[in-house]
Amino acid sequence: MSAQLGNLWYIKNRPIWFPGIYKTMYRSLQPPTVFLSKETSMPFNVTRKVLECHLVEGQLVPGEEIAIRIDHTLLQDATGTMAMLEFEALGLERVKVELAAQYVDHNLLQTDFKNADDHRYLQSACVRYGIHYSPPGNGISHQVHLENFGRPGLTLLGADSHTPAAAGLSMLAMGAGGMDVALAMAGRPYYLPCPRVLGVKLTGRLPDWVSAKDIILEMLRRYDVKGCLGKVVEYYGPGVATLTVEDRAVIGNMGTELGATSSIFPSDEQTRAYLSAQGRGDHWLPLEADPGAQYDEYAEIDLATLTPLIACPSSPGNVVAVGEVAGTSVDQVIIGSSANSGLKDLLRVVRIVEGRHSAPNTDFHINPGSRQVLENVAEADGILPLMMAGAKLHQSGCLGCIGMGQAPGTGQISLRTFPRNFPGRSGTKDDQVYLCSPETAAASALRGVITDPRELGKDMVYPQAEEPDQRLVDRSSIVYPSEKGMATEVLRGPNIKPFPQLDALPDDLRVTVAIKVGDNISTDGIMPAGNKVLPLRSNIEAISEYVFYQIDPDFHTRCRELVHVAVVGGDNYGQGSSREHAALAPRYLGVRLKLAKSFARIHKANLCNFGILPLTFKNPADYDRLAEGTVLEIGDVRRRIERGDTEIPVRLNGDEIIASLSVSERQRASLLAGGTLNLVRQELGRL
């Protein structure tokens, strides 16, 4: 007896991969009705099922490195331009993944030629190499992928940390640096530490005025921003059936803020209904944990007990009940972006504000998730009520979430349904950004102060937004690949520079600490976003001048003076966005070593990808012994890495501390070569 998913069959309980006939099988076979053979004796959770089906190397033992096959890849323009340059540097004729997609949703402001040039480059490169292209205004990558391409049980690797939003369609979706995504586009597997699985049982049903955002805020209240490092959060239980696909996408999206590798939901009738409404009912596949399936850790949330929650400045983990900050004056409210920008959320906001107007001192913004979402809101007669309520309707895109416009004024308070509120991310220094549900945001926009949305229940019935049996489906703006496109000339503007040359690791390392930072430094803190910096993503020389700009504007100048540089950090260094520029730009400035108490998963992988040694303090107290200007020396560093040392002695001020190097053999090879691109080029040269 056998069962099949995508290009993998289970025969006698063993997963068998036939890469040579993948495309034929994938396109000719109907979606199966079972995921695993009925003969499988061991009960698996959903995460284990998907990993088993895609495992290429390693064993599914938590913490050990594994390699998995990637079905879909996702790029967005802020990270995708560099990733596309990296893919081109591999010298391949076409992508070698089943579906690759490029979305333009971040760099939407065209204040000069740079963004427009990058968009033209991306579109021409997509046509040339066989990649789906979604142009500016068509929508945010996660929403558009959900609508058009996502399928239960597949893997998705995206150069955006919020790629796990595809959990809404039961995909095992992960964020990664652009280099890793470029390699997946080239048909290579994705390497990662095998995650532990946190099973979160959902029971009950959400009360009125409480929504999916409050579920993930409850998770952040419990676990904070690093409590799920190295884990996949898998939701199960009877409460799951009460959540729509877009509800689940909100939870998966912000699961990244827990530090999680990914999140995942089962594929059930909600999944089937959503795909059917999108005209993709034949893509549905039932997928759930087997009876008796085990998890590495357990948690439970009774949805009926949840109340409206809010994340206060300036961390997604700084969560309190809305009532604790109610009455605080609000200057700006933004609903949408990559979280809470789906149809149901916006229709509910429409009904809340209908016949009312936002407070006179509160700016009210709507950022729809996609053109299709906006079209469906219009079909439901939702545009006029929003406009008459004083809302400013923007094009579909990330916009203020990435600091691309919508920056609040000095000292102003902004309520947003976004996934992040790291310091300065809005584009305003010393900003005060709160994260909340659409219901809380709408209620606050109407009253001009932070408001528990249940207060509105005294005057109105909670608007239930039903899932439509059929949505308006608009794929007209997507440029689909064709074989004819291989003759397309790739267009490059003057701001698009070649990938920089990176030298191999030297025999000995002598570096000077150029900056010392504390805990939970995000990639926004290392490499800022915003309309001033984002257009430089394809020009490493130019963007390198903004490394640590918000913390120390002179950092790039000091690096050029020192030549060989180290950075010292605290716990969870590099949390947040997957942007590989937070590793590549420092490397361009001469950073060869980062020594921290601990690293966020994606940033650590990016450091290895660009040849920066990621060491951690064996004794965290040694952090206090280092300061800006401290000279660090590692003798025989190359030989130590080659022979697999995990303890690395570091000399400083005539003394010595011990640092730990916890990387895989593959990452050691990348460090020795000076970066993964150098390593892959060497491998391709030997073929």
- Dihedral angle sign, alpha carbons of residues 314, 548, 647, 633: negative
Q: Beta strands of 137-261 (E only): which ranges?
A: 155-158, 172-175, 190-193, 196-203, 231-236
Fold match, 46-305 / 509-686: no
* Cβ 524 vs Cβ 603: under 8 Å: no
Angstrom distance (rounded) from CA 515 to CA 69? 38
Name the helix (H) or strand (E) containing 101.
strand 99-103
Task: Provide CB contacts within 8 A for 130, sequence distance 6+.
Answer: 94, 95, 100, 481, 485, 486
Residue 69: what pLDDT?
98
- Dihedral angle sign, alpha carbons of residues 574, 576, 579, 581: negative
Q: What is the pLDDT of residues 619-633, one digit of tens each?
A: 999 999 999 999 999
Query: Can you read off the two tokens belonging to residue 7?
Result: 């290009």
Q: How many CB atoms lie within 10 A of CB 156?
A: 29
Angstrom distance (rounded) from CA 21 to CA 534? 41
- Indicate the burial class of 674 (C-beta count within 10 angstroms; 0-12, 13-18, 19 or more): buried
Residue 41: what pLDDT?
64
Angstrom distance (rounded) from CA 617 to CA 569? 10
Domain spans, the chain: 1-41, 46-305, 312-458, 509-686
Q: What angle do CA 360, 366, 368 make, to 5 degrees?
A: 175
| Residue 574 amino acid letter | G
Angstrom distance (rounded) from CA 569 to CA 514? 11
Angstrom distance (rounded) from CA 358 to CA 451? 13
According to DSSP, the residues that pair with 220 across neighbouring strands are none
- Indicate the burial class of 319 (C-beta count within 10 angstroms; 0-12, 13-18, 19 or more): buried
Q: Where do we find the tokens 């409206």?
A: 308
Domain covering 46-305, topology:
Aconitase; domain 3 (3.30.499)
Name the helix (H) or strand (E) containing 352.
helix 343-353
Angstrom distance (rounded) from CA 648 to CA 657? 9
* Cβ 99 vs Cβ 72: under 8 Å: yes
* Cβ 253 vs Cβ 175: under 8 Å: no
Class of domain 312-458: alpha beta
* Cβ 309 vs Cβ 317: under 8 Å: no
Angstrom distance (rounded) from CA 523 to CA 534? 13
Angstrom distance (rounded) from CA 407 to CA 399? 9
| pTM for this model (two decimals) | 0.88
Residue 329: what pLDDT?
97
Task: Provide CB contacts within 8 A for 70, sequence distance 6+.
Answer: 54, 97, 155, 156, 157, 184, 189, 190
Omega prior to 660 cis, within 30 of 0: no
According to DSSP, the residues that pair with 433 across neighbouring strands are 414
In the chain (687 residues long), the average pLDDT of successive 10-residue segments reads 37 33 30 42 92 96 96 93 91 94 90 90 96 96 96 96 96 94 95 97 97 98 95 98 97 96 97 97 96 97 98 95 97 92 95 96 96 96 96 88 84 94 86 96 97 94 87 96 91 88 94 96 89 85 93 94 95 88 94 96 92 96 96 96 96 93 94 92 68
Task: Provide CB contacts within 8 A for 141, sequence distance 6+.
Answer: 74, 75, 76, 101, 103, 105, 134, 158, 160, 163, 338
509-686 CATH pick, 3.20.20.140, 3.40.50.720, 2.70.150.10, 3.20.19.10? 3.20.19.10
* Cβ 556 vs Cβ 515: under 8 Å: no
Angstrom distance (rounded) from CA 569 to CA 554? 18
CA 256 to mean position of chain CA atoms: 6
